[in-house]
Amino acid sequence: MADGPPVPGERRIDWLKQFKAVLLAVGFVFVVRTVVAEPYHVPSASMVPTLLNGDELIASKYAYGYSKYSPPIDLLPDFPGRLLGRPPQRGDVIVFRLPREPSTTYVKRLIGLPGDRIQVSGGRLSINGATAPRRLVGPFTGDIGRSGTATLYIETLPGGSEHEIIEMSDADRLDNTREYVVPPGHYFMMGDNRDNSVDSRIPENEGGVGFVPADNLVARADLVLLSRDPAVDLTHVAEWPHAFRMARLMGRIH
């Protein structure tokens, strides 16, 4: 014998169960993206060759502790400092909120710690009066985000951390700077694409990044989840093999 139609009370209980399940799922995702890790999309070439335009990266939220900017949406009240805070390491690739526009998220490499003296002269990075060693690799053939050619180098920071950078020349607009003294509780960020990066070399009042407060650090970029070349039109199915950069799948970020 067939059951009769559900009565209004039963429909309401059913709806409430479904709503609770959805709410729990959303809450779980929110907690994970606040406390553990969150995916981010890279929309520019400022961190080439480490990160490419179109990379989807995973960043660890727990690496530096938690601030008011840790949730994926701004729900926490304004409070100073960090919970379970741990200082970042020089050379880390960091996701942070832009000081002059906190709704905007940037990703750059940490170059200067509080109290450091940072300067670029003739394209060479200097930290506390010592020039960071730079080893020539050769011509860089990838997309650099602007017209021209670039050279690939391996740069070594104090403490021994090595990473790749590219330079179009050693006489570009940010290749000769004043000396910056990083204030207490702040950090100095630079892009690995040294001639095509808006970073701490440009002050906030000139549309740049300036010094980044510790509270603005969001996460440490650890892993490239996947990568898609935005220049390839996904409506052309035949081009799909060229759209996804399989060699970057699950690659560690150094």
Q: How far is CA 223 from CA 39, 137, 185, 195, 220, in A?
A: 9, 24, 27, 24, 9
> Residue 98, class by beta-carbon neighbours within 10 Å (0-12 exposed, 13-18 middle, 19+ buried)?
middle
Give the H or E element holding residue 242. Answer: helix 240-243
Q: What is the pLDDT of residues 74-108, one digit of tens each?
A: 766 777 889 898 999 999 999 999 999 999 999 99
- Tell me the whole-structure pTM to 2 decimals: 0.87
Q: Is 126 a catalytic residue?
A: no
Q: What is the pLDDT of residues 213-233, one digit of tens each?
A: 999 999 999 999 999 999 888
Q: Is 161 a catalytic residue?
A: no
Beta bridge partners of 244: 228
Structure token pair of residue 26? 């959303």
| Options 67, 108, 200, 227, the catalytic residue | 108
Domains of the chain, first to last: 31-252 (2.10.109.10)
Contacts of 210 (CB under 8 A, 6+ apart): 99, 100, 200, 202, 203, 204
| Options 44, 46, 70, 200, the catalytic residue | 46
Please provide the size of the chain in residues: 254
Per-residue pLDDT of the chain (254 residues; tens, 9 = 90+): 455 555 555 556 666 666 555 555 554 444 445 555 799 999 999 999 999 999 999 999 999 999 999 887 676 677 788 989 899 999 999 999 999 999 999 999 999 999 999 999 999 999 999 999 999 999 999 999 999 999 999 999 999 999 999 999 999 999 999 999 999 999 999 999 999 999 999 999 999 999 999 999 999 999 999 999 998 887 887 887 888 999 999 999 99
